[in-house]
Amino acid sequence: MEHLFYMFALLFILWETRAILTPKKVTNLYIRSKRNLRKSDSKTDVVMGINAIYSIWVTIGVLSSQWYFFVILFIFGIIPKRYVNWTFIDGIISVVLLSLIVLNKYFFKIDLLNVLF
Protein backbone atom coordinates (compact mmCIF):
# COMPACT_ATOMS: atom_id res chain seq x y z
CA MET A 1 0.00 0.00 0.00
CA GLU A 2 2.89 2.30 0.77
CA HIS A 3 4.35 1.78 -2.70
CA LEU A 4 1.02 2.70 -4.27
CA PHE A 5 0.96 5.91 -2.25
CA TYR A 6 4.37 6.94 -3.56
CA MET A 7 3.46 5.89 -7.11
CA PHE A 8 0.91 8.68 -6.99
CA ALA A 9 3.84 11.05 -6.42
CA LEU A 10 5.22 10.07 -9.81
CA LEU A 11 1.83 10.80 -11.38
CA PHE A 12 1.75 14.21 -9.70
CA ILE A 13 5.31 14.95 -10.87
CA LEU A 14 3.99 14.54 -14.41
CA TRP A 15 1.00 16.72 -13.53
CA GLU A 16 3.26 19.51 -12.24
CA THR A 17 5.61 19.14 -15.22
CA ARG A 18 2.68 20.20 -17.35
CA ALA A 19 2.62 23.48 -15.40
CA ILE A 20 6.33 24.00 -16.14
CA LEU A 21 6.05 23.27 -19.86
CA THR A 22 2.85 25.23 -20.57
CA PRO A 23 2.34 27.74 -17.72
CA LYS A 24 0.12 30.14 -19.70
CA LYS A 25 -2.26 27.38 -20.74
CA VAL A 26 -2.43 26.01 -17.19
CA THR A 27 -3.04 29.47 -15.71
CA ASN A 28 -5.86 30.16 -18.17
CA LEU A 29 -7.40 26.77 -17.41
CA TYR A 30 -7.33 27.46 -13.66
CA ILE A 31 -8.86 30.90 -14.12
CA ARG A 32 -11.56 29.51 -16.42
CA SER A 33 -12.40 26.68 -14.00
CA LYS A 34 -12.73 29.14 -11.10
CA ARG A 35 -15.06 31.43 -13.07
CA ASN A 36 -17.28 28.72 -14.51
CA LEU A 37 -17.90 26.48 -11.51
CA ARG A 38 -21.52 25.95 -12.52
CA LYS A 39 -20.82 25.35 -16.18
CA SER A 40 -18.90 22.17 -16.71
CA ASP A 41 -16.89 21.02 -19.66
CA SER A 42 -14.62 18.03 -19.92
CA LYS A 43 -11.31 19.88 -19.48
CA THR A 44 -12.28 21.73 -16.31
CA ASP A 45 -13.87 18.57 -14.88
CA VAL A 46 -10.65 16.62 -15.40
CA VAL A 47 -8.51 19.41 -13.92
CA MET A 48 -10.76 19.79 -10.89
CA GLY A 49 -10.88 16.01 -10.40
CA ILE A 50 -7.11 15.58 -10.51
CA ASN A 51 -6.63 18.59 -8.25
CA ALA A 52 -9.07 17.08 -5.75
CA ILE A 53 -7.17 13.77 -5.78
CA TYR A 54 -3.90 15.70 -5.43
CA SER A 55 -5.27 17.64 -2.44
CA ILE A 56 -6.49 14.47 -0.73
CA TRP A 57 -3.12 12.80 -1.37
CA VAL A 58 -1.23 15.76 0.14
CA THR A 59 -3.56 15.78 3.16
CA ILE A 60 -2.93 12.07 3.75
CA GLY A 61 0.80 12.68 3.27
CA VAL A 62 0.78 15.14 6.17
CA LEU A 63 0.19 12.11 8.40
CA SER A 64 3.32 10.35 7.09
CA SER A 65 6.92 10.52 8.29
CA GLN A 66 7.70 13.15 5.64
CA TRP A 67 5.01 15.53 6.77
CA TYR A 68 7.23 18.62 6.47
CA PHE A 69 7.45 18.23 2.67
CA PHE A 70 3.70 17.70 2.45
CA VAL A 71 2.98 20.80 4.57
CA ILE A 72 5.06 22.88 2.15
CA LEU A 73 3.16 21.34 -0.80
CA PHE A 74 -0.12 22.10 0.96
CA ILE A 75 0.86 25.74 1.50
CA PHE A 76 1.82 26.11 -2.16
CA GLY A 77 -1.49 24.53 -3.15
CA ILE A 78 -3.48 27.10 -1.20
CA ILE A 79 -1.86 30.07 -2.94
CA PRO A 80 -3.91 31.06 -6.01
CA LYS A 81 -2.24 30.66 -9.39
CA ARG A 82 -3.50 33.76 -11.18
CA TYR A 83 -0.23 34.71 -12.81
CA VAL A 84 1.82 32.77 -15.35
CA ASN A 85 5.09 33.38 -13.50
CA TRP A 86 3.67 32.08 -10.25
CA THR A 87 2.32 28.96 -11.98
CA PHE A 88 5.78 28.28 -13.42
CA ILE A 89 7.56 28.81 -10.08
CA ASP A 90 4.96 26.70 -8.26
CA GLY A 91 5.47 23.92 -10.80
CA ILE A 92 9.24 23.90 -10.32
CA ILE A 93 9.00 23.91 -6.52
CA SER A 94 6.34 21.20 -6.56
CA VAL A 95 8.38 18.93 -8.85
CA VAL A 96 11.43 19.36 -6.63
CA LEU A 97 9.44 18.63 -3.46
CA LEU A 98 7.69 15.61 -4.98
CA SER A 99 11.02 14.27 -6.20
CA LEU A 100 12.51 14.77 -2.73
CA ILE A 101 9.58 12.91 -1.18
CA VAL A 102 10.11 9.86 -3.40
CA LEU A 103 13.91 9.94 -3.21
CA ASN A 104 13.93 10.42 0.54
CA LYS A 105 11.51 7.54 1.04
CA TYR A 106 13.39 4.98 -1.01
CA PHE A 107 17.02 6.15 -1.22
CA PHE A 108 18.11 8.86 1.22
CA LYS A 109 16.00 7.91 4.28
CA ILE A 110 16.96 11.13 6.04
CA ASP A 111 14.96 12.15 9.08
CA LEU A 112 15.02 15.89 8.46
CA LEU A 113 13.72 16.85 11.91
CA ASN A 114 16.61 15.08 13.68
CA VAL A 115 19.09 16.67 11.29
CA LEU A 116 17.73 20.18 11.84
CA PHE A 117 17.07 20.02 15.58
Q: Give the tens place of pLDDT for each residue, 72-96.
A: 999 988 888 888 999 999 999 999 9
pLDDT at res. 31: 80
pLDDT at res. 81: 80
pLDDT at res. 63: 92
pTM value?
0.86
* Beta carbons of 62 and 70 less than 8 angstroms apart: yes
Instruction: Give me the torsion for CA of 43, 45, 49, 55, rounded to 10°.
Output: 90
What whole-number distance in Å separates Cα of residue 14 and Cα of residue 79? 20
| Stretches in the chain below the pLDDT threshold 70 | 36-40
Tell me the percentage of the chain whose pLDDT exceeds 90: 50
* Single-letter amino acid code for the residue at 106: Y
* Single-letter amino acid code for the residue at 53: I
Q: What's the start-to-end Cα distance of the chain, in Å?
A: 31
